[in-house]
Amino acid sequence: MAGGFFISKTVGIVAIVLGLGAVATIIALSVVYAQEKNKGISDVGTSTTASPVTSTSTTASPGTNTSTTTTTPAPNNPWNKWRLPATLKPEFYEVSLQPFLKPDANNMYIFKGNSSVVFLCEEATDLILIHSKNLNYTMQGTFHATLQAEDGGTLPAISRTWLETPTQYLVLQLGAPLQQGKRYRLNSSFTGELADDLAGFYRSEYTDASGNKQVVATTQMQAADARKAFPCFDEPAMKANFTVTLIYPSGYKAISNMPDENTVQQEIGGEIWSVTKFYTTPRMSTYLLAFIVSQFEPVENKTGKTLIRIWGRPEAIREGQGAYALKVTGPILSFFEKHYNTDYPLPKSDQVGLPDFNAGAMENWGLVTYRENSLLFDAEYSSIGNKERVVTVIAHELAHQWFGNLVTLRWWNDLWLNEGFASYVEYLGADSAEPSWNIKDLMVLNELHTVMATDALASSHPLSFREEEINTPAQISEVFDSIAYSKGASVLRMLSSFLSEDIFKEGLQSYLHTFSYSNTIYSDLWVHLQQAVDKNKVQLPDSISNIMDRWTLQMGFPVVTVDTLSGAVRQAHFLLDPTSSVDRPSVFNYTWIIPITWMTGSGRRNNTWLTKVADANNDFKLTSPDWLLLNLNVTGYFRVNYNQENWNQLVQQLDTNHSVFPVINRAQIIDDAFNLARAKHVDVTLALNTTRFLSREREYMPWQAALTNLKYFKLMFDRSEVFGAMSAYMKKQVTPLFEHYKNITNNWSNRLNDSLLMVQYNEANAISTACSYGVTDCQRLAANYLSQWQNSTSNPVPPNLRSAIYCSMVATGGDDAWQFLWKKFQEARVVSEADKLRTALACSPDPWILSRYLQYTLDPTKIRKQDATSTINSIASNVVGQSLAWDFIRANWRTLFTQYGGGSFSFSRLILSVTQRFSTEFELQQLEQFKEDNQDIGFGSGTRALEQALEQTRANIKWVEENKAAVQSWFESETRTK
């Protein structure tokens, strides 16, 4: 699954205008990628009743006799535990579902279903537990389901059945045990709600070209919501084959994981319905099942034997918005077939853009679902950032078709390997489709630098959890965070780098071939990589397992410190707040086995390992003016510190000829220096010194690293007198970059070529930074564009510049500009365009406008539920809007939590966005009070984020106290004399 809360590069760049999008620390903290479901579910089991006390009430539902049963739970019974017992193993499901795409007499959308599952009894038991959530069963006599013996064996009678709602089970108590080694079939009929909660079998809506509301029935099963669609053994290791049949109104289309076998028309209740049976799937996990009924249309082609189809709203497809996805999907599939040395496992690859979808995308086998902005691309409206988003998310999801789907991790505690791997190879897949972009380099900014900010906190956590730590759906949901995705990707990139890509691929291919259609734990991959290492006689300081366990089983990462006067080198656990106490113990005592690459100013390059806490290396002993640079292209997941003399030489080299350093390392020097200053390893003025050369820098990555780090200074100081001098410095530094782009675009009249990804990104950086820090030419450019647009039927702003320009329009244009862009937002046909407008509307400096916009987020007719979080976050990131958003969150917490708790709200991101400027004792007290006041409601998956926000606020208070005077003095001296 891809991250749901994507901020395009250009939208992210607008951050500088009014602080939209937080400092790297806050961004990284806030990234929670998956849908937060099942908020506040706690372990069951306070009662001491020995057996369930059941009470049954029958309620009328559309033509179905149903039963609602409640039980008083007992703590030690199997149905009070979140994990399924190992007694039964599913083999084959037949599922038939009929979604009703018009509301019933109670104004509810529903679906009806029949399901049968054949399972093997692995261990004699008189109890059947199968997951079920929010399903009303048609009672078979007095029971929720019926049982058959498949092997002609004896069939025990059912003594009673009930729904164990807290742990989401349908329970069948039998009069005698099932026999070990025998197969049985469980049959049930049920009705469920086709809700708009973005989970399980759910409803998505959109308005078509004629202005009519259209309803789509679609799915999102990961992590624990297949049980909302039909009763199933809903754990990833419970793989089975599935035969799906969909019954749906004629005039609609139905798709599922496999191609359709046949479709017939059938009269049901006086109406003609289509009945489509799909071919049986290979053995697969329930969370990867998918089915969609819609009036969507496809564009298609074939790559080898694989049919590729891109589906979307008919008007979007007719406008060509699926063309780019179709163009890149074939090459990416071919790349992964070679990378894995394994054919694509299914006959077709469907990819569908959905109007309402909570994650960024979901890797359902053979039927990948996406937010529209992650699949559809319109060259007229969409920026190069939208294009990069599409190709990387497609590559991420297609990578899963083998790694995750064909071979699946046994339980969610190892999610990091599944998502971290896809987050790494998405860059390789995207690079195969867009080789001119150098997109692999961006992994350092997008994943590594971003996640290090989270992983440098004492409240971080290891990549791997113990299996018993992750039980409830809420706990599973919390695992989908930036550590799993971005740190996972970063350590796998490091592993591939020190092994070499060829050795890494050899071990990976062996792993996939061995475990196809099965389940694994993370250490299985280490075994197969070790075999490749041994076979190829690769020299390593220890086994793969011993090296990698230090990166996966303990949180955080090291800072490697070198003294070029003596050659001494040492490592230590890097903490942004060195005074914070690390409560989580580590068997490795927070030491790592570290692969180090290096170069010197005199031209020497090599690599080595640091296996001890402290060591000496003669190669690192230098005489001035030579310099030493560690971690070339930042392939290692660690930060680097030097003695002051070496830092001075590195800064001197940047100031005289920065191009001597690889471009990634220019970004690294900035990012390491700022973070080392935050952690008090170096002086804050050293970090600021690394930005002086930017007036001569034209490359994107160093600029982006600097802007990301300076966002923290902006957040801490844009409400204080420091900001005047900071603004003058930023204006001085960015003006040459702005003028550079003005010249190469012939005064903004020419567009840059799409092959120049990072050149285009830095153009947007130049404009957003220049406009926000008061470069008159830039603000005039935005005002001119607004005037042209208001007097024209067409939009004059180039797509790549829209995020930056729109924000400036709103920031300087008053309510007239706001209303104009709001109208354009409501009319926007393309999601990526709507996203840019929606984000820019938060750039207003007027409190009353921002307060009105906050209220809109509670009205789904104005702001879609899936966009409510990011809209509030955008407002909170505006210096004027931050206190308004904080008041709004506090006043509406109960409403927000109850309305959105099981749906589309990311409480982690919300809490972190509204608190990102907190840097006073008063704000800390407010945050502590907020925690106390809402204990009864809870914080769901934002619980950890609240602790991180408290930790971050304390760190901010201390940082401002210690650095404010020095920072103000530095900015003033840099602008006073030059």
Respond yes or no on whether the N-terminal peptide bond of residue 75 is cis (omega within 30° of 0): no
What distances in angstroms separate CA 803 from CA 75, 191, 794, 826, 827, one per listed residue? 54, 45, 17, 17, 17
Q: Alpha-carbon distance 451 to 444, whole Å?
A: 10
> Which tokens hold the place of 692?
């002086």
Burial of 48 (0-12, 13-18, 19+ CB in 10 A): exposed
| Three-state SS at 228 | helix
Q: Alpha-carbon distance 632 to 634, whole Å?
A: 5
* Cβ atoms of 187 and 115 closer than 8 Å: yes
Amino acid at 714: K
* Among 397, 506, 833, 974, the one annotated catalytic: 397
Q: Which helix (H) or strand (E) holds 408?
A: strand 407-409
Q: Alpha-carbon distance 812 to 798, whole Å?
A: 19
Q: How many CA atoms lie within 13 A of 214 on its CB side?
A: 22
Least Cα distance to 773 among 739, 809, 723 occurs for: 723
Burial of 543 (0-12, 13-18, 19+ CB in 10 A): middle
The 10 Å Cβ neighbour count of residue 295 is 16
Residues in contact with 658: Cβ distance below 8 Å, sequence separation at least 6, in sequence order: 666, 693, 696, 697, 702
Kindly give the residue spans of alpha helices, DSSP state H, lying in 191-242.
none
Q: Alpha-carbon distance 81 to 519, whole Å?
A: 22
**Residue holding tokens 């900035």?**
670
Least Cα distance to 554 among 571, 540, 541 occurs for: 571
Distance of CA 163 to the CA centre of its chain: 33
| Three-state SS at 527 | helix
| Three-state SS at 26 | helix
Q: Which residues are bridge partners to 856 per DSSP? A: none
Q: Alpha-carbon distance 511 to 528, whole Å?
A: 6
* Cβ atoms of 667 and 761 closer than 8 Å: no
The 10 Å Cβ neighbour count of residue 821 is 24
CA angle 910, 877, 12 (to 5 degrees): 100
* Cβ atoms of 651 and 686 closer than 8 Å: yes
Least Cα distance to 927 among 955, 963, 964 occurs for: 955
Name the region of 875 (left: φ>0; alpha: ψ -120 to 50; beta: rest): alpha
Catalytic, 363? Answer: no
Q: How many residues belong to the chain? A: 978
Beta strands per DSSP E along 313-365 = 348-354, 361-362
The 10 Å Cβ neighbour count of residue 972 is 16
Least Cα distance to 822 among 804, 801, 800, 844 occurs for: 844
| Three-state SS at 687 | helix
* Cβ atoms of 654 and 687 closer than 8 Å: no
Q: Alpha-carbon distance 839 to 183, whole Å?
A: 56
Q: Which residues are bridge partners to 171 per DSSP? A: 129, 162
Distance of CA 648 to the CA centre of its chain: 38
Rg (CA), the chain: 28
Dihedral (Cα; 121, 200, 308, 101), 10-degree rounding: 120
Active site residues: 397
